[in-house]
Amino acid sequence: MPGHVEAARTQDAVYLRVTGLGNFNNAGPMREYCEKAFTEGLRAVIVDLGPCTGLDSTFMGTLMGFLGFEGAGEPVSVSVMNATPATMRAMNSLGLPKILHVHDQPVAFPQCRLEMLREGWQDKRRRTLLIRDAHVALMQHDKENEARFAPFVAALVKEVRELEEQQRQG
């Protein structure tokens, strides 16, 4: 089942609901949406995983990357609610509950008008950078992830250099 992310902003937070798979195809638009809110002063992200069937490492790393957002103001906080057994296993496997606030009891998602974010990235370079940044965030926030992802990140860095060289030549 493909996935999508719906998002809303209030005065206090960005609310996200993940339906189906949270993956690299919907992590990019989610990141763009949240970073725009961060530059405008919001510092809280609340993620509802109730309708989510699974998470890939890029999606989880993107959530972790919000913690290191470079901008004025307070640090960004990320809270996860309504995690399913499958999404909890995925998050536990990469150490997210050690860093993010994960509610272990069901939480009612607030009433707010959600908009469906587009899916996918058209630009291969931007997609590769998103995947690289997500995995760097996973390694920075949990050292156990270094052995798992360091070779992958090195390959992504090389791929980004090659793509940038192709752009300069093209």
> Per residue in 81-127, pLDDT tens?
999 999 999 999 999 999 999 998 888 888 889 999 988 766 888 89
How much is the pLDDT for 74?
83
How much is the pLDDT for 123?
84
| pLDDT one-digit tens code per residue, 124-167 | 888 999 999 999 999 999 999 999 999 999 999 999 899 888 88
Q: Which two three-digit tokens encode residue 118?
A: 């587009």
Percentage above 90 pLDDT, the chain: 77
Could you tell me which residues come within 8 angstroms of residue 146 by beta carbon, excluding any fewer than 6 positions away?
A: 139
Q: What's the pTM?
A: 0.93
Domains of the chain and any CATH numbers: 4-120 (3.30.750.24)
Q: For 15-20, what is the mean pLDDT?
A: 97
Q: Where are the beta strands (DSSP E) in 34-149?
A: 44-48, 52-55, 77-81, 101-102, 115-116
Where is mean pLDDT largest: 26-30, 67-71, 108-112, 115-119? Answer: 26-30
How much is the pLDDT for 83?
96
How much is the pLDDT for 124?
87
How much is the pLDDT for 98?
93
How much is the pLDDT for 105?
85
How much is the pLDDT for 93?
97
How much is the pLDDT for 108?
84
How far lies 85's CA from each of 49, 78, 110, in Å? 10, 19, 22
3-state SS class at 97? helix
Q: Where are the beta strands (DSSP E) in 10-51?
A: 14-22, 44-48
pLDDT, mean over the chain: 92
In what helix (H) or strand (E) does residue 24 lie, and over which residues does it extend?
helix 24-39
Asked if 62 and 68 count as a contact pair (C-beta separation under 8 A), the reply is no
